[in-house]
């Protein structure tokens, strides 16, 4: 309750910010885009993790203004980069199913001038199970604008394969729980290889999430994996930390 009250004021008080985490091409090391991750600095509690406040925001409906804030801020930010890199924004089920979500995405793109091809929306599988027919319709409208859709945390939800077929995904993000043991657990390695094969077969690029150790990256380099994200490559940070990348000097 208290958290909900404080969260209600967070936007107007300027307590929200976005940390950006680079997504890197596995073979070349080039940065191809950034994931936008919401951050909240509470005046008394300090940094509160989105793992804590996003569920509160979803229950209270506050995720709608918060999500709109993130979408607009991330698109505005990316529109200002000299380098034409992509930006990925996490969208929760509540946002996806809210009336007018595709129109909101279109309006924010028009307002910020960001090329729709540079925006990617990340959705977890749990966001899709509520009302499949409706979720398909919403995602297809978003796809038709040119915005890409990534399936986030792949492998942790359920009926992943049916979802891959039903929804217009342009990217698969393999959950970090598989990546973290890819060099030590043969089952993880087999699963990651299978997902990479799935991506190749479906012609959908795969991103490995949560790469923390050189051994994990070495494994991915030996496979057909398009991109990777994780602390080994870069931690989520204020965009100023990546000025040389966004300005096109790297
Ligand atoms: O960045 P971090 O590890 O703190 O994120 C924790 C969780 O919060 C992750 O599941 C991440 O996807 C989610 N998250 C981060 N930013 C956003 C956001 O802007 N919107 C939504 N819906 N979830 C977010
Ligand atoms: O659910 P989603 O994949 O959107 O969550 C992204 C979360 O993963 C963010 O909270 C981000 O801070 C976190 N993250 C990014 N890279 C790593 C990593 O290498 N290791 C771990 N443990 N978390 C990471
Ligand atoms: Mn994500
Ligand atoms: Na993820």
The response to whether residue 123 sits with its C-beta less than 6 Å from ligand 1 reads no
pLDDT value at residue 102? 98
Residue 162 makes CB contacts below 8 A (sequence gap 6+) with none
Q: What residue ranges in 103-175 does DSSP mark as E strands?
A: 119-124, 148-154, 171-174
Residue nearest atom 15 in ligand 1 by C-alpha distance:
37
pLDDT value at residue 131? 86
83 CA distance to ligand 2 middle (Å): 24
- Sketch the domain layout of the chain as residue ranges: 2-246
Q: Which of 70, 127, 210 maximizes ligand 2 atoms within 8 Å of its Cβ, making it the mutation to test the pocket? A: 210
Low pLDDT (below 70) residues in the chain: 1
Q: How many CA atoms lie within 13 Å of 152's alpha carbon, on the beta-carbon side? A: 17
From residue 208, alpha-carbon distances to 76, 100, 147, 152, 175 in Å are 26, 32, 21, 10, 7
Q: What are phi and psi of 83, to 5 degrees?
A: -75, 135
Tell me the per-residue pLDDT of 107-118, one tens digit each, with 9 for 90 and over. Answer: 999 999 999 999
The response to whether residue 121 sits with its C-beta less than 6 Å from ligand 1 reads no
pLDDT value at residue 157? 81
Q: Which CATH class is domain 2-246?
A: alpha beta
The response to whether residue 57 sits with its C-beta less than 6 Å from ligand 1 reads no
pLDDT value at residue 85? 98
138 CA distance to ligand 1 middle (Å): 21
The response to whether residue 125 sits with its C-beta less than 6 Å from ligand 2 reads no
105 CA distance to ligand 1 middle (Å): 19
């Amino acid at each position: 309750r208290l958290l909900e009250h404080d969260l209600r004021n967070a936007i107007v008080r300027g307590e929200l910010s976005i940390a950006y985490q680079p997504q890197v091409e596995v073979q070349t090391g080039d940065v191809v885009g950034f994931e936008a991750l919401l951050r909240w600095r509470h005046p008394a509690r300090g940094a509160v993790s989105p793992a804590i406040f996003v569920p509160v925001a979803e229950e209270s409906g506050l995720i709608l203004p918060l999500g709109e804030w993130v979408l607009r801020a991330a698109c505005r930010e990316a529109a200002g980069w000299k380098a034409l890199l992509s930006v990925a924004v996490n969208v929760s089920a509540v946002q996806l199913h809210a009336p007018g979500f595709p129109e909101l995405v279109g309006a924010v793109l028009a307002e910020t001038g960001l090329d729709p091809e540079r925006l990617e929306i990340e959705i977890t599988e749990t966001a899709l199970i509520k009302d499949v027919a409706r979720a398909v319709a919403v995602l297809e409208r978003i796809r038709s604008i040119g915005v890409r859709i990534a399936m986030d945390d792949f492998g942790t939800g359920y009926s992943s394969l049916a979802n891959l077929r039903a929804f217009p995904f342009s990217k698969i993000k393999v959950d970090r729980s598989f990546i973290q043991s890819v060099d030590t657990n043969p089952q993880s390695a087999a699963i990651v290889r299978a997902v990479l094969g799935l991506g190749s077969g479906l012609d959908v690029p795969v991103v490995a999430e949560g790469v923390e150790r050189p051994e994990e990256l070495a494994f991915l380099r030996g496979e057909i994996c398009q991109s990777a994200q994780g602390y080994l490559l870069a931690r989520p940070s204020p965009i100023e930390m990546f000025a040389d990348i966004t300005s096109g000097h790297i």
